[in-house]
Amino acid sequence: MGADPLSRLPHGIAFRFVDRILEVIPGQRVVALKNVTGDDPHLQGHFPGDPLMPGVLLVEAMAQTAGLLLPEGSFAVLAQIKEARFRRPVVPGDQVRIEAEHRTGLGSLHRFTLQACVDGTPVAEAEIVLAITTPGDRGS
């Protein structure tokens, strides 16, 4: 997976929700970390005085983690979210451990199961489908 697996993510730093890779079995399983801090820009307005990581960004972090299991050079977009469950809020100071497992692939579609935990306690889980596409191919 190369010297810096995070460099495979096509996202700019401002929209990268994976901080570190702990474990990877190429094409099968990856474990990543997201450190949630009070400095995260999205927490400034969600919610003032009582910040929490938006669920949609937690799903994005999970999708970015899953994307690390796609073939080298792939560019993928989120095609489907199934069975997403949020167990408790993620707040500044939390370190989110994200585990992604590649379940199936058919053509350009790849299905993953994901779980996000803080201190060993599940905070979210989902099944997602990523579609491999060409950068800039967003349709009309």
Active site (catalytic) residues? 46
Q: What is the rounded CA–CA span in Å between residue 88 and residue 58?
A: 12
Name the strands in the sheet holding 20-25, side by side, starting at the edge strand that comes first in the sequence.
Answer: 20-25, 29-35, 95-106, 109-118, 121-133, 75-86
Nearest to 110 by CA among 127, 89, 122, 124: 127
Nearest Cα neighbor of 76 from 52, 117, 105, 98 is 105
Alpha-carbon distance of 51 to 37, in angstroms, equals 10
